[in-house]
Structures are given as C-alpha cells and as structure tokens.
Amino acid sequence: MKFESLALCEPLLRSLKAAGYQEATPIQQQAIPKLLAGHDLIGCAQTGTGKTAAFTLPTLQRLMPAASIAKDVTPPRSGRAIRALILTPTRELAAQIGGSLATYGKYTNVQHTVIFGGVGQQPQVRALKAGIDVLVATPGRLLDLIQQGFIKLSAVEVLILDEADQMLDMGFIHDLKRIVALVPNHRQTLMFSATMPKPIRDLAKQWLRRPFEVKVTPVASTPDRVSQSVCLVERQDKPAVLTRFLNETRRSRTLVFARTKRGADKIARGLQRDGIRAVSIHGGKSQSKRGAAIREFNSQRPPVLVATDLASRGLDFSGVSHVINYDIPESPETYVHRIGRTARAGATGRAVSFCGRDERQYLRMIERLIGKAIAAEELGCTAGESVSRAAPPKNAANADADSQATSQRCLKAPAERQFRRSNSRTRPSASKNTATPRPQKKSRRRRAVVS
C-alpha cells in the first residue's frame, strides 16, 4: 500500500518521498489510519517492522497547523508547550526516534528535542527553553528535569510508550507511573512492545481507553534467510570456541550477545587478548562510550560487537552477517529478536548458539517456539545431526556425557589433536615401574592447551 492511501498530509508525503519511502509496512497500514482518527493503540511489533514511522507520522500530522492539513486538527498554541511525549528505555533508541522525527518532519514546523542521561543537561535545557512540540525522553532524565522545573507535562495530548516491555524489565515501572500521573487524563495513548506479557496488558488496561490492537510479525517466526545452528559446549570452554569461530570468519561483522554487563566486558577483553578487535556495549557504560562503540562498529573498524539485550534493544545495525548467542537467552522470544539482527534488507545471515549443560532447557524452549530443531555444528562444520530437545532427555547422565563429548569435539583443533597423538607415543606404559612425576607434568601442559 502506498503512503498516499493513508490520508497523510502533503508535507509528510514529501518528506517520505525525499527519504526514499514509498510502500507502507503492515504495521503502518494498520496503525496510521486509527491513530489519525484519535484512537488509543497497543502494538506488538519487533524492531525492523516500521513501528517508529507508524507512530511518528500521525503524531507529526496532529501537531501541524490546521491550515496545512485537515480542518479538525487543533492548531498549535501561541507559546510552544510539549504536546507529545515519547518515552523509550535507552539513550540510543531515544536518539534514533529523534532522527526519525527530523526526517519525517523535515517540511513541517513541528519542533522536537531528545533528552537522556549520561551526558550534560545544559544543551538539553536550552532546547527545552527554546520551545518544543515533541519530547523524546528516557524516564530517568525526564524526571530529573521535571524536578528541576524545566519541564511541564500539563499540555501533553499524545503519550507514546515505546519498547514498554523493556522499560519494565529495566525497572522503570515506578518512574513510568510517576510520569503518567503528570500527563492529562484526556489524551491519546500509544503503547508498543515486542512482547505482550501480563504486566504489559495490565498497564494497558490502566492507561489506555478502548485501544485498537495491532500485531505484526509473530514472535515465533524467524527469518528464512538465517542459517541457525548450535554448538554444545561446556561453559568454561566457550571463550576458546568463540575465538576459534571468529578466527575462521575474520572478514564478517559479528554481533555477540551476552546475558550480563560483566559478561559482555569479559568477552570483549578476552577477544582483544586473542588479537581480535572487539568492543562492548551495555547499560553500565556512559553514553559517550556506548556511542563511540556503536560508531566504531558501524564504521566496520572492530568487526565484533559484544552486547547485552537491554543495550542493543531498538538499535538497527546494518551489514551484520553473524549473530552469536554466547549465552542462550532465558526467554525464547529474545532468541528470535537476537537473530533478527542479521539477514536484513534481503541479505543472508548466520546465527550460532553456544549451549552449555545448564542452558539446554532454554534451547528446548526455543525449539518449541520456532517449531523446529536446530542443527548441531562443530565450529563451522555442520555435524549433520539434530539436537532437538522438545522433551527433556530420559537419561540425564547420558545427556551430560553427550554434551561434554560435543564440547570437546568443538574445541579440538588439528594441532591440538596432533599434540595429543605425539604425547600418547611418549607416555610410559602402565606395566613398567617408572617414576610418575614426568607424566603428571605433561598432563598439566595438555590441559593448558585445551583451556
């Protein structure tokens, strides 16, 4: 469907054409007419579905002067006040939405600014004092500036909560409740979330009035162009497996997912010690460091970016050929989100998951969600076997033994196997009465090679 069919005004159509957009995505086709009609909306959509345009375009049209668009749109007040508030969980996503507002609002007089923590507040305060129509903010910095008297939300007509599930996961629920209490009850409210757990639906019942629901790209679907595989590997062996894999794919842009902030830093440091350029991003880093890491990765200087799910949520990295799940995510939906970072814009991609014994339950959950088994792999050599675990193994001891065996297969490089063969030829026979200290030393050296 063309954007011209969605009742968008001429300035917005002109900006879309200038940006090279012609066809509306499914979520845009469903959401834009409802939002232009003033309905509240709850949308279940992942990154890359076009949801940002789905809520920014109707918001811009609503805030434009009446003479430029439909007669029933309220004209702006004489003195600018914040009429639309967009809340996001991360600084990077806030900046990304700000960029979309600048692109789509290029031929309008709607003013916006973006505020977030981790940077000095003075430039943000100056932009607020100059007068804006749309404010994009992270909850923490917004409350700080409200308390300092720089922001008033009494004129807000449109409230948008983007990545609502992630804001709850990051512990913003109390901040969100404080902010919503400061916004007029008579407003249009939009809530977008990649998943729809019960807490999100409970909030929607409190804050939205008879919302229209939009759901696109079912969360169980995985991109057809992504080749998926799993390597069963013991946790302590994962660093060596990762280094070997990256050495085999040196020219590829790789996104490595870790479960924790500390884990992301540890992985990046280990890769750097092994001579592989890597940077990490997570919520514990300052805005300047996160921004620098993202710019470096986008410029393809370091081919590897190690990230946590929270820090990377909403960010769009182009040209990613490989996604590595260093830690299997506890939520199967998160797995789908992760591997969706590759195979963008018609390209193909590859997703490899390192699965320890303590993570096999999560692997089974993922396979149930996506409806298929994930093939086993030995560091780039497909094993040609299924590791489906739709039900728990009947013999846990055998399962653990299988996992350890596969882990060692993943680790054995040709040189290491040769080392073991040469060692076995020189090891004393058990039947001879020879001194034992010498074999013990060789055993320690052998472990040093493998670890």
Instruction: Indicate if 226-414 has the same CATH topology as 3-215.
Output: yes
pLDDT (average), residues 219-232: 81
pLDDT tens per residue across span 83-113: 999 999 988 889 999 999 999 999 999 999 9
Would you say residue 65 has pLDDT above 90?
no
- Which range is least confidently modeled, 94-103, 119-128, 274-283, 425-434? 425-434
**CA-closest candidate to residue 184, choices 210, 156, 205, 161:** 156
- Distance, in Å, from the CA atom of 451 to the CA atom of 241, rounded to the nearest integer, reads 10
| Full-model pTM | 0.64
Residue 375 CB neighbours (<10 A): 16
**CA-closest candidate to residue 149, choices 133, 179, 125, 127:** 125
Q: Which of the four CATH numbers 3.40.50.300, 3.40.30.10, 3.40.50.10320, 3.40.50.2000 does domain 3-215 have?
A: 3.40.50.300
pLDDT tens per residue across span 144-154: 999 999 999 99
- Report the pLDDT value the prediction gives residue 302, as an integer from 0 to 100: 81
pLDDT tens per residue across span 190-205: 999 877 888 888 999 9
- Report the pLDDT value the prediction gives residue 264, as an integer from 0 to 100: 95
Share of the chain above pLDDT 70, in %: 76
| Identity of residue 153 | L
Share of the chain above pLDDT 90, in %: 53
| Identity of residue 375 | A
Angle (nearest 5°) at CA 32 between 46 and 100: 60
Would you say residue 183 has pLDDT above 50?
yes
pLDDT (average), residues 29-37: 96
- Report the pLDDT value the prediction gives residue 35, as an integer from 0 to 100: 97
Residue 351 tokens, joined = 């997703």
- Report the pLDDT value the prediction gives residue 382, as an integer from 0 to 100: 38
Would you say residue 309 has pLDDT above 70?
yes
- Report the pLDDT value the prediction gives residue 282, as an integer from 0 to 100: 87
pLDDT band at 221 (very low <50, low <70, confident <90, very high): low
How close are the terminal C-alpha atoms of the chain, in Å? Answer: 56
Strands 381-386 and 375-378 turn out to be antiparallel
Would you say residue 447 has pLDDT above 50?
no
Residue 79 CB neighbours (<10 A): 7
Domain boundaries in the chain?
3-215, 226-414
Higher pLDDT, 78 or 339: 339
- Distance, in Å, from the CA atom of 17 to the CA atom of 27, rounded to the nearest integer, reads 19
- Angle (deg, nearest 10), helices 173-182 and 139-147: 50
- Report the pLDDT value the prediction gives residue 379, as an integer from 0 to 100: 59
pLDDT band at 425 (very low <50, low <70, confident <90, very high): very low
**CA-closest candidate to residue 44, choices 176, 220, 170:** 220
Would you say residue 450 has pLDDT above 50?
no
- Report the pLDDT value the prediction gives residue 314, as an integer from 0 to 100: 63
List helix spans (H) across 22-163: 26-36, 51-63, 91-104, 122-130, 139-147
- Report the pLDDT value the prediction gives residue 291, as an integer from 0 to 100: 80
- Report the pLDDT value the prediction gives residue 433, as an integer from 0 to 100: 43
Burial of 175 (0-12, 13-18, 19+ CB in 10 A): middle
Residue in this structure with the two tokens 């959401």, named with its chain if needed: 31
Annotation: CATH topology of 226-414: Rossmann fold (3.40.50)
Would you say residue 269 has pLDDT above 50?
yes
Q: What is the mean pLDDT of the chain?
A: 81
Q: Distance of CA 134 to CAs 76, 85, 121, Å? A: 12, 6, 18
Element (H, E) at 228: strand 226-232
Would you say residue 434 has pLDDT above 60?
no
The phi and psi torsions of 270 (rounded to 5 degrees) equal: -60, -40
pLDDT band at 219 (very low <50, low <70, confident <90, very high): low
- Report the pLDDT value the prediction gives residue 345, as an integer from 0 to 100: 66
The phi and psi torsions of 350 (rounded to 5 degrees) equal: -135, 135
Would you say residue 283 has pLDDT above 80?
no
pLDDT tens per residue across span 164-182: 988 887 789 999 999 999 9
